[in-house]
Amino acid sequence: MPDNDPTAAAVTDPAALRADCANCFGLCCVALTLTASADFAINKEAGDPCRNLQEDFRCGIHTRLRSEGFAGCTVYDCFGAGQKVSQGTYDGRDWRQAPDSARQMFEVFPVMRRLHELLRYLTEALALPDAGPLHTELRNARDSTERLTLGTAEELVELDVSVHRDGVAALLGRTSELVRATAPRGRKRSHRGGDLIGARLKGADLQGADLRGAYLIAADLRAADLRLADVIGADFRDADLADADLTGALFLTQTQLNAAKGNAATRLPPSLTRPTHWVGTPPGGE
């Protein structure tokens, strides 16, 4: 791999865990299935290019995705898997140049995405001082996950990523317990996987709460305190986060923020960006 290749840096570099569409072959626009809904304006089978994908692998309506009925595209995040598969696994050979490898490439992509998502969480966990007692285990898990991302296309297709994910998830759960225990008054009662759809949680003290996998769709979380809350896998679609405090929220992703609503007063971790569709956000974002 050439020294100037964008994937040459360690994958756990935060930049390598963010989508770099300029170095991807539009994999999310081809490999994934789209179902006509409020999120997508069309039906599309996995393996079929989206009608908006251009010859240079760019989206023809990128600046108009929401107004054109493709809000789901603005929420999706590959965690850097797209450029890793395109420039790493396939060494810059795209599916148009090598159509015989197209089907395999589209199978590799979702596997790589799941691995990169785990790397995103493990990298965050290693930056948490209160998780110090688990740093060795976390580092080992990160390194083993990274090694899996460097496998051949054949190895990645055959990988049972669910088994690896379960082991990492258990370790992240222990990390969460340690960190949330430092919250004032300790950890709150668990809402893990809870049905909080449309819940009225305005001003709620959720500091240190376990919200893993919770359904917070259209929940009113205005001015809620979500510091040190574990939100891994929580569904924030259309949740109102105006004036909420999410600084220090555990395992919060850009995808979750993009799916929610907020305003200029919503407090965010410094590593994340205020979505441009939020009220009071300048057109160029922060």
User: Are residues 204 and 257 located together in one domain of the fold?
Assistant: yes
CATH number of residue 232's parent domain: 2.160.20.80
Both 210 and 158 in one domain: the answer is no
Find the helix packing angle between 102-126 and 135-149, rounded to 10°.
Answer: 160
In a domain, 258, yes or no: yes
Measured distance CA(117)–CA(80) in Å, rounded:
9
- Claim to verify: residue 201 and residue 256 sit in the same structural domain: yes
Same-domain pairing of 137 and 261: no
Question: 281 and 191: one domain?
Answer: yes
Residue 8: predicted pLDDT: 42
State how far the Cα of 74 lies from the Cα of 234, in Å rounded to an integer. 18
**Is residue 2 assigned to a domain?**
no
21-67 pLDDT, tens digit per residue, is 999 999 999 999 999 998 999 999 999 999 999 999 999 999 999 89
Same domain for 191 and 285 = yes
Query: Looking at residue 86, what is its pLDDT?
Result: 97
For 148, the domain range is 14-32+76-179
Question: In terms of domains, do 135 and 248 share one?
Answer: no
CA distances from 242 to 24, 86, 259 (A): 34, 38, 13
Are 18 and 127 in a shared domain? yes
Among 179, 204, 224, identify where a domain stops.
179
Instruction: Please say whether the beta carbons of 149 and 119 come within 8 A.
Output: yes
pLDDT value at residue 139: 97
**Which stretches in the chain have pLDDT values below 50?**
1-9
> Does 205 lie in the same domain as 95?
no
Asked if residue 239 lies in contact with residue 257, where contact means CB atoms within 8 angstroms, the answer is no
In this prediction, residue 184 carries a pLDDT of 85
Residues 218 and 240 grouped into a single domain: yes
Please say which residue of 160, 179, 198 terminates a domain. Answer: 179
pLDDT value, residue 280: 76
What is the count of structural domains for the chain?
2
Whether residue 138 lies inside any domain: the answer is yes
**pLDDT value for 189:** 73
Q: Are 174 and 191 members of one domain?
A: no
At residue 10, the pLDDT reads 53
Q: Of 157, 179, 201, which residue sits at a domain end?
A: 179
Query: What's CA 182's distance to the chain center, in Å?
Result: 26
Position 183, amino acid: A
Nearest C-alpha neighbor of 258 from the set 33, 75, 119:
75
Number of H helices, E strands in the chain: 7, 0
143 within a domain of the structure (yes/no): yes
Is there a domain that residue 1 lies in? no
Is there a domain that residue 223 lies in? yes
Q: Is residue 201 part of a domain?
A: yes
Cα–Cα dist 27/205, whole Å: 40
What is the pLDDT at residue 7? Answer: 42
125/21 same-domain check: yes
Q: Does any domain span residue 162? A: yes
| Structure confidence by residue, pLDDT tens digits, 154-169 | 999 999 999 999 999 9
Q: Quote the Cα angle for 65-49-276, to 5°.
A: 20
